Every structure is written in structure tokens, then in C-alpha cells.
Amino acid sequence: MVLVSGFGIFRFVNRRHPRVLARIRPTQLGLWSFAVAIAHGAGLMLVPIYLGLCRAADVDTGHERAGTIIKADLSMAVLVSVVHSVAMISAGGLLVWLVYRHVGIKFVSRSWFNLDATWAFSLVFVGALSLAISLASRH
């Protein structure tokens, strides 16, 4: 909690973007994008738990159902995962192609804005919120 907020404050103070990141190959950028997307999605899965929307009994029945489906037909579970991945990649690719083809790269370069300050603020906010929830749950 303190580490997250501290890093957010550091990003507010030190706004210089690392130059090392500007000289990476497209394959490394693709791998980095994949890793970050996975990491952000995994964090969002915890939101219902922290909001108290899931109870232990609900989680157990959900795991039992998922386990039953996977044990019954592993190939169907894999097929569902592959179809979902292909659909998401196709939708993203279509969106990128539409922007490139109809809006143009000039629009993207003119409308781009730096999200470093927003990211730093979110780190400070999440760290402070986590600390407040942790302290409140002790009483």
C-alpha cells in the first residue's frame, strides 16, 4: 500500500519518461502489451471480492461448476477460450484498421495525450484507498 502510493508520488515528481523504452523492437512491444493486458485484467477480477459481492459459498459453487465443465469436456473449455481470444484480437485489430484507414495516423498523433500523470494519480489513490480499507477493517 505504502509502496504503491510512494511509487505514484515518485511518478508525479519525476515525470521524465525512461528513454530505454523508446528503443525497443516491435516484438518486445507486443510481448509487453500482452503482459500488461493480462496483469490489468487479473487485477480487475478482484474487484467483486473487495466490494463484498462474493461470499465464500458463492465462490465455492462457482469453482465447482467450472471444475465440472472442465472435467466433463476439456476440449469444449479450450474451444471456448480460443474463440474468446480470437474474438477479442479480431475486434481490436478491426478497430485499429478502421482508425488507420478512415481517421488516419495524423489524427492519432495530434490527439495523443500523456497518461503518466493519470497513472501516478491512480497509484496514489489505490494505495491510499487500500490503506484506509485495511485500517478500517481492523476496528
Q: Is the pLDDT of residue 8 over 70?
A: yes
Highest mean pLDDT among 21-35, 62-76, 103-117, 124-138: 124-138
Express each pLDDT in 22-70 by its tens digit. Answer: 677 878 878 887 787 777 666 666 666 666 666 666 556 766 766 776 6
Radius of gyration, alpha carbons of the chain? 21
Q: Which amino acid is at 73?
A: D
Give me the pLDDT at residue 1, please. 74
* Angle, alpha carbons 128-134-139 (nearest 5°): 130
Chain centroid to CA 78: how far? 22
Domain residue ranges in the chain: 2-72+105-138
* Arithmetic mean of pLDDT over the chain: 78
Question: pTM, whole model, 2 decimals?
Answer: 0.41
Give me the pLDDT at residue 5, please. 86
Q: Is the pLDDT of residue 10 over 80?
A: yes
Decide: 119 and 11 in contact? Cβ < 8 Å: yes
Give me the pLDDT at residue 36, please. 78
